[in-house]
Every structure is written in structure tokens, then in C-alpha cells.
Amino acid sequence: MKKIAILGSTGSIGTQTLELVRENPDLSVVGLAAGSNIDLFEQQVREFQPKLVSLQSEEACKELKTRLADMDVTVVCGMDGLIAIAEMEEAQVLVTAIVGMIGIRPTIAAIQKGKDIALANKETLVTAGHIIMPLAKERGVSILPVDSEHSAIFQSLQGENRERVRKLLITASGGPFRGKAREALENVRLEDALHHPNWSMGNKITIDSATLVNKGLEVMEAKWLFGVGLEQIQVVVHPQSIIHSMVEYVDGGIMAQLGMPDMKLPIQYALFYPDRRPMKGKRVDFYALGSITFEKPDMETFTGLKLAMRAAREGGSVPTVFNAANEMAVRLFLNKKIRFLQIPEIIEMCMDAQKRIASPSVEEILACEQETYELIRTKF
């Protein structure tokens, strides 16, 4: 029996992880945390019977306690709750399916307790990769990628000599606005930005995919996960999302992982690695597919990717500023407070204004996040 805890169980990755628990009787859930969807969360607790559960606000936790009075379960709350679940004695693997850099402290807490991490929460690695990766190594903990591109790279590295990697090729669908000129993006509606051509995901990452910020975050995520230089990472637009990413070796050979765009495969791979389990679902039908295509990313229109590359190059606290500014800007866009093109504008404004720290501690990263939010609040 493999015992897992999940941070962000009511979200897109969280609910798909629980589907896998339903399908695999040798997986069991010992801890669950989520934000505010109390109805779905209560159903999950009743079905999966974890020992420890947490919601974001005190109010939601109080309500949950009342609702679960008939059950043998402990309710914890907020950041302390996330950390308590991350550190649970009973859990072997922590699935980080929470969104945003709020995942930093719980992820570090879990690693310190020797838990393997099935990592979906890329913002954590983008901002604190320089702390998390060495700590994981020191504690002998595996960071197993859930993000489809990173899972594809991880799968393409199996059985190979990592010294012989020449570059990582990260594929990108290009999002709903691929091929559009900048002027055409002036007045895009929230509804259009939320309509991803191939993947069904949470709102924040769907907007990140439309701005190409997601691909930028993934470049930084790959740099930390696989310990390669930025110059060894190339983004390739591949609109059909069938090749999930590739690794080129020194002899020119390229290994790729292909499959339908379905997050359940990378989640399951992370949970059972190095095994592969049978899985239901649609398969790639090459006759029906006919052709797949590739393009260069348009970084002049989608400046989110260009700014991410700059943040990655500058390093230190700059990726934190980039990420925090994006988190806040996406929130403002989702609340219809700003236009689509203001997302990269806000990121750039913050990157130009914020002071730099070469190798920020967790406290400095969190302070930098708050300062970035403050800066945006003074203007919007």
C-alpha cells in the first residue's frame, strides 16, 4: 500500500490524483488539503477517509469540523494545516497540487521529513529551486515531476547517461492565441483566454498558458529539476500536444514521450515510478492524427516568455518577482480588473523596480513576494 497526502485536492490535478486512487486499490490517502470548496472537500473526506485534513480559512475549518463530527478525522487549518499534512508521519509521498508559491513552505517541510514529492506546483520550484533541490538531495528524497513536459523529459531520460544530454526540448501548445498579432490581443476577453485548445486545467495555469508565462515557468522548473544550463533548454511550439517534450543527446539522437493530452498519465507515472500501470482512456491514433507540426515561439507578441527567460538568466530573487507579479496580475485579470496585455506589463514593471538578492532564503523569497504585491497594489 502506498500512502499519499495531497495539497490542493479539489483542483484539477488534485481531483485527477483522487481518480487514480479510485482506480488503484494499492494507493491510499492519509491527508488532504484544499482552499475553500467545502462541499467537494467534504465528499472527498467521506470517500477517501484521510486522517488529517485542512482548509484555507478558520471559518471554513470550523464549518468542516461541524460537518465531519461523525467521522474520526482531525481538522487543521491554513498554512499550519498545509505544513502538518506535508509532515504527516503516515505519508510516503506528498502530491503538491496546490497553485502558487504558497507551496514553498509545505514542500520544504515534507522534504525535511523525508517524503518523496510528486510535484505539480511549479511556482515553488521556480522561486525556491535553489533551496529545494539541494535539500532533496541531502535528504535522499525524490522530486517526481507531474507537469506533463517534465514527466516527458524524465521518461526520456530513463536508462540514459545524463552526462550525454545535449539539450531539453520543451514543447508548448502555443495556447488559444497562437498565431495572433499583438494588436489582436488588445481586447481579448477572459472567456477566450480561459479556453485552452488541448488541456483542461485550473484557471491560473490556463491564463499562464495563454500568455506563455507557463512555458517560461516550465523552463525554470526544468532547469532546477534536471540540473541543466538555460542554454540547454529550447522551447518548441507543437500545437497538437502529442509530443509532451524531448531530450536530445550528444549523438543527435532524440528521445521523446508521446501520448494523448491527459494529465492522469504523468500523475500516475510519478506515483508508481519506475513502474508503469495500465490506464484507461483514449490512445494516440496516428492514422487519425495524420500530421503533427512545429513552430518557433513568438516572443515579441507573447512577452511573458521573453520576460521569463530574462528572469531565469538574472536568477536570484528575480524569478520570485516574476512569479509573484504574474500571480497577482493573473488574479487581477481573472477578476476583470486589468486587460490581458497588462499581465506582462505588470511583470516587467515589477522586474525593473524590485531590488535583487543573489541567493534568497525562504524568508527573503516570501518578503520579496509581499513587496511585489505591494508594488502592484499601489498602482492597480
Q: Binding ligand NAD by CB under 6 A: which of 5, 18, 32, 33?
A: 33
CA distances, 120 to each of 17, 110, 128, 138, 285 (Å): 11, 15, 14, 21, 28
Tell how far CA 260 is from the center of its chain.
Answer: 19
Q: Which stretch binds ligand NAD (CB under 6 A): 95-103, 152-160, 186-194, 290-298?
A: 95-103
Interface residues for ligand NAD in 261-300 (CB under 6 A)? 263
By CB under 6 A, name the one of 20, 32, 53, 99 that touches ligand NAD.
99
DSSP-based three-state secondary structure for 70: coil
Smallest separation (angstroms) from ligand NAD to the CB of 352? 25
Closer CB to ligand NAD, 13 or 237, in the complex: 13
Question: Minimum distance between the CB of residue 149 and ligand NAD, rounded to whole angstroms?
Answer: 8
Place of cell 490535478: 13
Q: How far apart are CA 61 and CA 255, in angstroms?
A: 47
CB 184 → Mg ion: shortest distance, Å? 25
135: left (phi over 0), alpha (psi -120 to 50) or beta: alpha
| Residue nearest ligand NAD by beta-carbon distance | 11
Q: Which of the listed partners (Mg ion, ligand NAD, none) does 56 bind, with a CB threshold of 5 to 8 Å by partner kind?
A: ligand NAD
**201, interface contact from ligand NAD, Mg ion, none, CB < 5-8 Å by kind:** ligand NAD
116 forms bridges with which residues in the sheet? Answer: 93
Place of cell 517541510: 109
Binders of ligand NAD in range 156-195 (CB under 6 A): none
Distance CA 145, CA 156 (A): 13
**Is 30:4 a contact under the CB 8 Å cutoff?**
yes
Least Å distance, CB 40 to ligand NAD, is 9
Cα 146 to Cα 13, 43, 153, 270, 305: the distances in Å are: 9, 25, 11, 6, 21
Residue from 65, 71, 113, 199 in contact with ligand NAD (CB under 6 A): 199
Q: Is 116 in the site for ligand NAD (CB under 6 A)?
A: no
- Which range touches Mg ion (CB under 5 A), out of 20-28, 141-149, 189-197, 251-259? 141-149
First to last CA, the chain: 50
For residue 12, state whether it binds ligand NAD (rule: CB under 6 A).
Answer: yes
In terms of CB distance, is 8 or 344 closer to ligand NAD? 8
**Size of site (CB under 6 A) for ligand NAD:** 28
Q: Residue 168 binds which one of ligand NAD, Mg ion, none, with CB within 5 to 8 A depending on kind? A: none
Q: Which does 12 bind (CB under 5 to 8 A by kind): Mg ion, ligand NAD, none?
A: ligand NAD
21 contact choice in Mg ion, ligand NAD, none (CB below 5 to 8 Å, kind-dependent): none
- Cα separation values, 261 from 8, 119, 122, 197, 254, Å: 21, 18, 18, 11, 20
As a 3-state breakdown, the chain gives helix, strand, coil percent values, each rounded to 5, of 50, 15, 35
349 class by beta-carbon count within 10 Å (0-12 exposed, 13-18 middle, 19+ buried): middle
Which of 4, 5, 11, 156: binder of ligand NAD (CB under 6 A)? 11
Looking at 17, 29, 35, 219, which residue binds ligand NAD (CB under 6 A)?
A: 35
* Grid cell of 362 as nine digits: 525562504
Question: Which among 1-9, 66-74, 81-89, 146-154 is the span making contact with Mg ion, rule CB under 5 A?
Answer: 146-154
257 lies in the site for ligand NAD, by CB under 6 A: no
Residue 8 binding partner per list Mg ion, ligand NAD, none, with a CB distance cut-off of 5 to 8 Å that depends on partner kind? ligand NAD
169, containing H or E segment: strand 165-172
262 near Mg ion (CB under 5 A) = no
Among 4, 13, 30, 305, interactor with ligand NAD by CB under 6 A: 13
What lies within 8 Å, CB to CB, of 356 at 6+ separation is 314, 316, 317, 318
Q: What are phi and psi of 191, to 5 degrees?
A: -60, -40
Is 147 near Mg ion (CB under 5 A)?
yes
Q: Whats the size of the chain, residue-wise?
A: 380
Q: Applying CB under 6 A, which residues contact ligand NAD?
A: 8-14, 33-35, 37, 56, 97-99, 102, 120-123, 147, 199, 201-205, 263
Binding residues for Mg ion, per CB under 5 A? 147-149
